[in-house]
Amino acid sequence: MTQRWCVLLAVLALASSQNQPPQPTFRTEANYVRVDVFPTKDGAPVTDLRQDEFEVVENGAPQTIEQFERVVIRAAGPQETRIEPNTVAESRAMAESSRARLFVVFLDTYHVDVSDSHRIRKPLIDALDRVIGQDDMVAVMTPEMSARDIVFARKTTTIDGFLTRYWHWGERNRMIPPDPEDEQYGFCYPNEPPPRSGQRDCTDQNGIAAEMIDRRHEKRALDALQDLVRYLRGVREERKAILAITNGWLLYRPNQNLMRPLRCKGVPTGPTVGIDPRTGRLTTAETRPGVAPNASCDTDRMHLAQLDNADQFRQMLDEANHANASFYPVDPRGLAVFDTPIVRQDVPGPAPAMVPLDVDRAMLTGRLTSLRTLAEATDGLAIVDSNDLAGGFRRVVADLSSYYLLGYYSTGKLDGKFHSITVRVKRPGVQVRARRGYLAATTAAVTAAAAASANANAAPSAEAAAEAVAVESALAPLPGYARDMPLRADVVAGWRRGSDGRPTPEFWVVGEFSAGTPPGRALDATVVGSSGTTLVRGSSESGARNVLIALVPSEPTEPGEYTVRVRGDGFGTVSVRVKLPPAPEAGGAVFIRRGQTTGNKEVPTADRRYRRSEQLRLEVPMPEGGAVTARLLDRTGKPLAVPVNVATRDDNDGTRWQTAQLALAPLAPADYIIELTNGTNRTLIGFRVVP
């Protein structure tokens, strides 16, 4: 399932996660404002308007139009003629062009099912091919991604290739939840059958897991869209178009009934505050070994019951207008009849009763209303309740293919407040859609931006440049973890002390199956040299989800590049390139995870995404040299005042491990780096804390 997301992220050349979301730029002058205007009459674009027919009013004061241009966008022609940016910096520079339109395709994986994700592929790609002009740029985002991980490109072939190969990206109503937290909710609150004589009646918990899953999915989708809107505001002032492929949302409100006491589980309680024995600090994370996961489920139940997604939705609409971002939502179901499946099977236990028809109709209406509101409130168009998806996309193409670009010097103050904009056309019968306003800069912000620009133009020192490259390299793999994969693999190459006392090369292979994989799956690993010769092969002895295999080549092995092929029974093969450094250095580190999803046990992991309730430990093979020191860095390479505990461990096979352990409870969701130093050797290893 999730291998396709890494392919997508790779082929779209995702931006390095070191780069912070850009702040709004001040071009020409701080009080210069550009406005994209889309005039229509009877639904058709008006293409013959003159400058003197437009009026622009800001905060009630008429403005003088200094720039006037009618922009007509035509398809860019063959894909091979489109010039792609070679670097992230080039991509952002192209995105700032006022003539380049920006599109983001948001694939709401939580609210589209498998069949509809396949159905939408062709009309979506056809529309992109028609609407993307020579200077336009497009990006793709999913709810599991951070907005800072998207990158804009000009070719649509990579998106087409992805959607053709991985047409089943939709996850709604899947029988086996791909998310371990969804799976955990089902384990905590399974649907119970009617009790037999003498048994306790636990059926009052039926439906709780399903509502928790739905509320969590909707919250994550809205969080991602809000994150995207805020990011796009910093990219540029001009209009941005978001094509949201989704069934829509119910916009959950607080539900006290979800917090009800249960006959078989009692009253849900909030997180308890205790002392972490590792750090001596107060923590809400569970510190008792072997504790059941129900406490975490109860905490999530209380939190999810109090969500007000309707209020967040309204806030997002306001922010979209401030960011000059327009939504074009598309319901891939077409003319939908029912909103809920006949039988819901993503929660263990007996299938719940079918949703009554009147309730289902209300849910369907609510979802479609949310999409229409999203479009109308942001000057976009909604393609909903229609089986003619291609025709709907043609309306979007027509809407975005001809517009007027106006520019004026604002007479308003640099006060940091929102300034409303009204655009009128004197010609009768013409309707106008344009940005509703902008957030003015402050005098202090303009001064700071000018100073920052001057500092950015100064040539960095060689040390600073090298440090920036090291930080970027440490964070570069993290976007590839945006989605779970059926089989993920990580490899560490290093040395241990052999029986003769000399360093012996060894490869440590971590294989990890996705959540929900049936037990008993075999895992094989093979180390292949540059000439294609197999050096060593090994397999796991158990069918665990997380496996660590140690491979020692029988033939003399020199430092250099190697390929490790990891094959899972029924899951294909994953190839990992690894470099064996000169002895006694190590190439990478083994990641260890401990948390509620692992039964509070330490297990190796090939996924560098962690939650705040978990602990992270790195293990580096170091047969010689002094002790390793470690510290935590933020995504810019600056040290953080969070302790990293280091220790040394010796295995019976002669491997000496330097370990670094970190409690993640104090950290906010973001990208981080652990810096390991051993003498003159310094290693930076990135990881991501997710919500």
Both tokens assigned to 377: 């409130």
| Lowest mean pLDDT segment, chosen from 324-333, 392-401, 428-437 | 392-401
133, 207, 489, 562 from 535: Cα distances, Å: 51, 53, 18, 10
What is the rounded average pLDDT for all residues in the chain?
Answer: 80
pLDDT surpasses 60 at 282: no
pLDDT on residue 545? 81
- Please, what's the b/e burial string for 157-185 (b: 16 or more CB within 10 A of its CB; e: otherwise)? ebbbebbeebbebbbbebeebbbbbbbbb
Predicted confidence (pLDDT) at residue 541 exceeds the cutoff of 80: no
Residue 244 confidence (pLDDT) above 90:
yes
Closest CA to 39 of 425, 568, 349, 555: 425
Superfamily the domain 16-192+211-254+307-437 falls into: von Willebrand factor, type A domain (3.40.50.410)
Residue 502: CB atoms within 10 A of its CB come to 10
* Cα Dmax for the chain: 93
Whole-angstrom distance, CA of residue 267 vs CA of residue 205: 12
Count Cβ neighbours within 10 Å for each residue of 400-413 and write b for 16 or more, e otherwise: bbbbbbbbbebeee
Confidence of residue 312 (pLDDT cuts 50, 70, 90): very high
pLDDT tens per residue, range 457-501: 666 677 777 888 889 888 888 887 876 678 888 999 888 877 777
pLDDT tens-digit map of 554-572: 877 888 888 999 888 767 7
Q: Which residue has the tokens 């330490």?
A: 602
The top-scoring range by mean pLDDT among 128-137, 239-248, 265-274 is 239-248
Segment 61-85 shows an average pLDDT of 73
* pLDDT for residue 656: 80
Residue with tokens 């104090």: 666
The pTM (predicted TM-score) of the whole model is: 0.61
Give the containing element (helix H, strand E) for 124: helix 121-131
- If you average pLDDT over residues 431-456, what whole number do you get? 77
Where exactly are the structural domains of the chain? Answer: 16-192+211-254+307-437, 255-306, 485-690
- What integer is the mean pLDDT of 569-595? 83
Token couple for 148: 């800072």
Report whether pLDDT(655) > 60: yes
Q: Check for a shared fold between 16-192+211-254+307-437 and 485-690.
A: no
CATH number of 485-690: 2.60.40.10
What stretch of H or E contains 471?
helix 462-475
649 confidence band (pLDDT: 50, 70, 90): confident
Q: State mean pLDDT over 106-123.
A: 87
Tokens 């052999």 locate to 498
Between residues 314 and 456, which one has the greater pLDDT?
314
Percentage of residues in the chain with pLDDT exceeding 90? 21
